[in-house]
Amino acid sequence: MIGRVNHIAIAVPDLTAAAASYRDTLGAAVSEPQALPEHGVMVVFVELPNTKVELLEPLGEASPIAAFLEKNPSGGMHHICYEVDDILVARDRLAASGARVLGNGEPKIGAHGKPVLFLHPKDFFGTLIELEQA
Ligand code: CO
């Protein structure tokens, strides 16, 4: 059911410093910071030959990554995003197998303009999973 890794998201306390580290120390191509207010994050996209890394910094009061950074003040891997062909088919299959879909179970439009869902990390070995319809 799941296909390519679309991106790996890393929550960071200082986006400027994290982008500089990926650019200067790891030698990666990084984007300019972009504000995604509807998702409560500032993001820098790190373009790699086979996938993307997204560096996320909280934006605004109700950022979904604020609590994660309180628990992991120096940052940490926040989620991995897998592509699926049909997000509603994927959701129904997961629900039928007992996996918990976060929120109200309806896909939202994600950072790339495509429908996404998140799955409970306790059902997948401590990793928050995002599914994105490719
Ligand atoms: Co994501």
Query: Distance of CA 54 to CAs 17, 24, 90, 93, Å?
Result: 14, 16, 23, 28
User: Could you tell me the distance, in angstroms and rounded to a whole number, from the CA of residue 133 to the centre of ligand 1?
Assistant: 12
Q: Tens of pLDDT along 8-51? A: 999 999 999 999 999 999 999 999 999 998 889 999 999 999 99
118 near 130, Cβ under 8 Å?
Answer: yes
Instruction: pLDDT band for 59, please (50, 70, 90 cuts).
Output: very high
Q: Specify the CATH number for the domain of residue 60.
A: 3.10.180.10
**Mean local confidence (pLDDT), 53-57:** 97
At residue 13, what is the residue type? Answer: P
Contact criterion met (CB below 8 Å) for 40 and 110: no
Q: Which domain range does residue 82 map to?
A: 2-133
Q: So what's the pLDDT on residue 66?
A: 94
| pLDDT above 90 (res 111) | no
Ligand 1 ion: Cβ-proximal residues, 5 Å cutoff: 9, 81, 130
How confident is the model at residue 132, as a pLDDT?
97
pTM of the model: 0.93
User: pLDDT over 70 for what percent of the chain?
Assistant: 100
pLDDT at 110 over 90: no
User: In the chain, how many domains are there?
Assistant: 1
CA 126 to ligand 1 center in whole angstroms: 16
